[in-house]
Chain A
C-alpha cells in the first residue's frame, strides 16, 4: 500500500512538473496620455515642457518613442533635482526634434541610473550618444546613404533610416564609451560592419544596409566621429 502511495505521488510530481515555462510582461504598457500627464507634473519650466509634449506625442505616434520607456525615464528623472530633470528632458527634446529613435537613448539613461551612476556621468554619455546620432545622420545623408530630410517635410520620418543611423551611432558610441581611442577608426569600422551584417534583413532593411556596407570605410567612420566630437564643424 505504501508503494502504491509512493507511485501515485511520483505520478503527480511528474505531471505537475509540466508548467515550468512562464512568460513575463516586458516594458510596461502605458497610454501616451498618461506619459504626457506625468510630464506635466515635473517641476521644470513650461517653455521646455510644452514643446516636449508635442514632440513626444509625434514620436509616440511615429514609433520612435515607446510610451512604456518614456514613462520609466520620466519616473526615474523625477527622483533627481529640477535642474537635472531639465537637463535630461532637453536631451530627449533634441533627439525627438532630430527625428531620431529615442528609446535607446532613454534606455541608456535608465541603464546608468539602474547602476546608480552619478547624474553628470549619465548626462555626459547621453550627450555623446546624441552627438553621435546627429553626426551619423548628417554624414550618412551627405553621402547619399539615407535620404536628406527637408526641415519642412510633413511626412513622418523613415523608421528604417532612423534605425540604421541608430545602429551605426551606437556601435561607435560603444567603442568610445568603453574607453577605446576615437582615432582607431578601423576598429570602429569593424564593429559597425559586424553589427550591420548581424541585423541585416531582420531589424534593418537590406536595401539600406548593403549600400552602406559597400561604402563603409575608416574614413567614413572618422568623419562621423570628428563631427560628433567637434559639433562646431557642423
Chain B
C-alpha cells in the first residue's frame, strides 16, 4: 500500500509541466493543410480518395461533353440577344402564350422546361413596333413589365415593344 502510494506520488510529480508541454506541442502541430495531406496519404484513406477522384473526373467529363454536344442554356440577357425575349413569371400557371401582331394574334406558347415558374419564348422579329399581350391559363395579361409602353384598345391594355436591329429588344 505504501509502495503504491509512493509510486502514485512519483507519477504525479511534474504532472503540471507535462500537461503544459503537451499543450504546447499540440499548438505547434502542423496546420490543417498538412494534416489533410497526412490523412489523405494514410493507407486507409486511399480507396476513398480514389472514389472521390473518379467522381470528380466523371462530373467534369459530363460537363465537358454537355458543353460540346449541346449549347449551355444562356442567361436571360444573352437569350434576348438572339431575338426578342418574352417572359412571364408565374409559379402556378399551367399554360402561357404570347399573342401579338407578329403572329396575327395567334397564340405562341411560352415554355418552362425546368418548372421554375419562368416561362419564356424568344422570337426573331424584324425591326419595328409590336403590340402584344400574354395569355396565362387563358387570362389576358396586357401589361408586361418588360414592355416599352402600353396602349388601351378594346377596353384592355396591350404591351408595346420596339425591336431594333432585327430581334434584340
Chain A positions within 8 Å of B, measured between CB atoms, are 3-4, 7-8, 10-12, 14-24, 26-28, 68-69, 72-73, 103-104, 106-108, 110-115, 117, 121-122, 125, 167, 174, 177-179, 195, 198-199, 202-203
Contacts and interface: CB of A to CB of B under 8 A. Distances in A.
Contact of A11 (B54, B66, B127): B66
B154 A4 contact: no
A76 to B, nearest CB: 9
Contact of A68 (B104, B111, B125): B104
Nearest to A66: B104
A200 to B, nearest CB: 11
Contacts of A10: 59, 62
B108 A198 contact: no
B109 A24 contact: yes
Nearest to B60: A11
B156 A115 contact: yes
Given A15-B66, A167-B129, A174-B151, A114 B55 contact: no
Contact of A202 (B69, B79, B124, B164): B164
A125 B154 contact: yes
Contacts of B61: 11
Given A4-B55, A16-B70, A167-B129, A27 B104 contact: yes
Contacts, number: 140
B113 interface: yes
Most buried by B among A21, A28, A72, A122: A21
B55 A15 contact: no
A136 B61 CA distance: 64
Interface of B: 51, 54-55, 58-59, 61-63, 65-66, 69-74, 79, 82-83, 99, 101-106, 108-109, 111, 113-114, 120-125, 127-129, 131, 140, 148, 151-156, 158, 162, 164-165
Given A112-B153, A115-B156, A203-B129, A26 B72 contact: no
A4 B58 contact: yes
Given A24-B108, A198-B162, 5 more contacts: A11-B65, A11-B66, A14-B63, A17-B66, A72-B104
B18 to A, nearest CB: 45
13 contacts: A3-B55, A7-B58, A7-B59, A10-B62, A14-B66, A20-B73, A20-B113, A23-B123, A111-B131, A111-B158, A112-B153, A115-B140, A177-B151
B69 A117 contact: no
Contact of B73 (A18, A115, A174): A18
Contacts of B114: 17, 20
Lowest 9 A-B CB distances belong to which pairs?
Answer: A11-B62, A15-B66, A18-B70, A72-B104, A202-B127, A107-B101, A110-B105, A20-B73, A117-B154
Nearest to A180: B152
A174 B105 CA distance: 18
A113 B153 CA distance: 12
Nearest to A106: B104
Contacts of B101: 103-104, 107, 111
Contacts of A104: 101
